[in-house]
A = this chain, B = another copy of it.
Amino acid sequence: MDNIQLFEQIQHKKSFLCVGLDTDIQRIPHHLLEYQYQIFEFNRQIIDATANYTIAYKTNIAFYEVLGASGWINLEMTVNYIRAHYPEIFIIADAKRGDIGNTSKYYAKTFFETLNFDAITVSPYMGKDSVSPFLGFQDKWVILLALTSNSGSNDFQQIIDKKSNSRLFENIIRVSAGWSSKNNMMYVIGATHAEMLAGVRRIIPEHFLLIPGIGAQGGSLNDVAKYGFNKNCGLIVNSSRAIIYADGTVDFAKAAGIEAYKVQQEMEKLLKEYGLTTNN
């Protein structure tokens, strides 16, 4: 999928929501425990209930790996289900990988070939040759960690580089933007640092950004739109726990659908307000 198709989907659905399928076996409703593929069954129902309101799904790999081989089977089934039923939807492996070149190549094959993800989140710490192997796959995307949503993002990501006099995460964005293009690179910027999006937009006005941190982590959607929108929207905003765990009963999927709809409605309003819909 390219960035034009992504914007078309945003305009069609009037949404830039990504639902995070961070499915925790300890938090799924009890009645699902009778299924052989419990995580997949939870995901399948959440997907069917939210697909009209979302342009992307993001699976955080930690929640699957913790179940060993069975987790990988549930992950594969989830990706295949989205592909088969909602082929327009962008699928992100939130894996935060990154290793020496010879090894990153295998992570890239894992998420782009063994599994059929559109994008993977990658850590920038090991530099260019750790990221490049992910950039050689047609229509596949790297989403590089820049400024994350957690409190630890204040520990190192904002260190001021003596030479460029810019923050580490800004330096990483500036340098890495030269490794590829807006056609296969995005950046993670946490909604908890929405005011810093203006500075990010000065460096990369045209790239898409993946924004975690609204919902359970407390970031503001209005601020994210205000500082982060570009002429093609340019934002994918993720919400995980606030949507998928909206209700813990047999009605969990319906409740998730309602929460996703509410966020979509807010997004539609913002897209209209900023002149980003086709029919405004």
Contacts and interface: CB of A to CB of B under 8 A. Distances in A.
A114 B72 CA distance: 13
Interface string A107-150: 10110001100000001111111110000000000000100111
A181 interface: no
Contact of A125 (B63, B128, B145, B162): B145
A4 interface: no
A106 interface: yes
Nearest to A163: B160
Contacts of A106: 24, 62-63, 65-66
Contact of A155 (B97, B163, B175): B175
Q: How many copies does the complex hold?
A: 2
A87 interface: no
Contacts of A131: 152
A133 to B, nearest CB: 10
Contacts of A165: 162
A215 interface: no
A128 B154 CA distance: 9
Given A68-B110, A96-B126, A128-B151, 12 more contacts: A66-B109, A66-B110, A72-B72, A100-B149, A123-B125, A125-B145, A126-B145, A127-B156, A128-B155, A130-B150, A161-B162, A168-B168
B150 A100 contact: yes
A172 to B, nearest CB: 6
Nearest to A76: B68
A157 interface: yes
Contact of A103 (B62, B99, B100, B130): B62
